[in-house]
Amino acid sequence: MPTYKSDRVFQWVNGLFLILACLTMIAPLIHLAAISLSSPVYANAKLVYLWPKGFNLTVYEQIFGMDTLWRALGVSVYMCIMGILVFLILTTSISYSLSRPIMPGRRLVLRAILVTFVFTSPLIPNYLVIKSLGMENTLWALIVPGALGAYSVIIMKTFLQGISSELFDAAKIDGCSEYGIYARIALPLSKPVIATLSLFHVVGLWNAYFGALIYIRDKKLYPLQLVLRSLILEQDTSGTTTISTEVAMEATPEMMKAGVILFTTIPILMVYPFLQKYFVKGALLGSLKE
């Protein structure tokens, strides 16, 4: 009985701790939503915390009317879709090859990949390579450099090594080639880890702005986070659209920034529910064995 009570106490304490941790993550979003939905009088006086005061939708009327934001949203969505396709093709193929004992030189290749954990390419050489390849001022400059990562390869490789070798041997006996095993067996069984790594990569692409700041010159190719950065740093909306004096009085810069931050955050949050059932399983399975 004492052990049972101690377990219940631990569960309650652990649950309370996790609830508090969740609140610390959700509270900033609630605060931003409250500011964006409040009256400028209360927002300017910094009297808004977790509940809007003087309910007002002016901010979102202006945000939904910004052509630059919608164009940047389309650029970010396109970049994420193309980026995840390139990422999955490269990561799954090289990980499958490294997981097969018949691949010649696989240990040498794996050691070369591990080196990238310690040494990364400096900014200037990386920029010169992108420029020499003709990818400057294109979205490929944001997609290609990060399309293959050592962490993803190792997790995917370890997961594939955990699949029973007898299954692959049976497929070979049935006349299946290596390409067939890769496409019909390895990939379908790897859905959890693929979903998890894809989620990590998509979030990275969605939140990235430094690469766009370095490589992109055409404002029509600005992703959403770069437009958001311009808005926050310039303390106004000159980086996105021109707002009249009347509108500026109705929606202050602080309210606009809060609304735009939510506008850029909510789309990526909507991806999580569709991948939730794979997330925990995929994050753990790849780390069970070498």
Q: Is the pLDDT of residue 240 over 80?
A: no
Average pLDDT of 15-27?
Answer: 87
pLDDT at 238: 46
pLDDT at 246 over 70: no
Query: Are 25 and 3 in contact, with CB atoms under 8 Å apart?
Result: no
Distance CA 253, CA 234 (A): 10
Q: Comparing C-alpha atoms, which of 283, 14, 257, 64 is closest to residue 159?
A: 283
Number of C-beta neighbours around residue 167 at 10 A: 12
Q: Return d(Cα 41, Cα 107) in angstroms, integer.
A: 65
- Token output for 80: 């994420």
- What is the token pair recorded at 62? 């202006």
CATH code of the region 61-285: 1.10.3720.10
Averaged pLDDT, 229-252: 54
Higher pLDDT, 86 or 122: 86
Tell me the per-residue pLDDT of 191-207, one tens digit each, with 9 for 90 and over: 888 888 888 899 889 98
- In the chain, where are the structural domains located? 2-56, 61-285
Q: Sign (positive/negative) of CA torsion 284, 285, 288, 290?
A: negative
Q: Give the span between the Cα atoms of 285 and 160, in whole angstroms.
A: 10
Amino acid at 166: E
pLDDT attached to residue 237: 45
pLDDT at 74 over 60: yes
CA end-to-end span of the chain: 40
pLDDT at 77: 92
pLDDT surpasses 90 at 9? no
Q: Which tokens is 207 given? A: 């939140």
Q: In sequence order, what are the residues at sequence separation of 6 or more whose Cβ sits closer than 8 angstroms to the Cβ of residue 50? A: 27, 30, 31, 34
Q: Render pLDDT for 160-183 as a digit per residue (tens, 0 to 9).
A: 888 888 888 888 888 888 888 888
Percentage, residues of the chain above pLDDT 70: 86
Cα–Cα distance measured from residue 179 to residue 184, given in angstroms and rounded to the nearest whole number: 8
